[in-house]
Amino acid sequence: MALFLLLILVAILLGVFGVIVKGLLYLLFVGVIVLVVAIAYGMFRFRRTGRPPVR
C-alpha cells in the first residue's frame, strides 16, 4: 500500500513541476507514465479473486 501511495505522490509532483517550470514539460509526461504504472500496480495488487489469501 505504501508503494502505491508513493507512486501516486511522485506522479502528482512530477506533473505539477512539469506544468509549472518552463522547459520541463517532459516531467509531465514522466508523471503520467508513473501514474499509469501506479494504477496498473494497484489493480493487480488489490484485486479480489474470491480465494482466501495464502499465509
pLDDT in tens, 1-22: 788 888 889 988 888 888 888 7
Number of domains in the chain: 1
Domain containing residue 31: 2-45
Model pTM greater than 0.75?
no
- Torsions phi, psi for 23 (to 5 deg): 90, -5
- Res 51 pLDDT > 80: no
51 lies in some domain? no
24 lies in some domain? yes
13 is written with which cell numbers?
Answer: 509532483
Q: What is the dihedral of CA 51, 4, 38, 20, to 10 degrees?
A: 160
Where helices occur in 1-55 by DSSP H, the ranges are 2-20, 25-45
> How far, in Å, CA of 6 to CA of 12, rounded?
10
Place of cell 506522479: 11
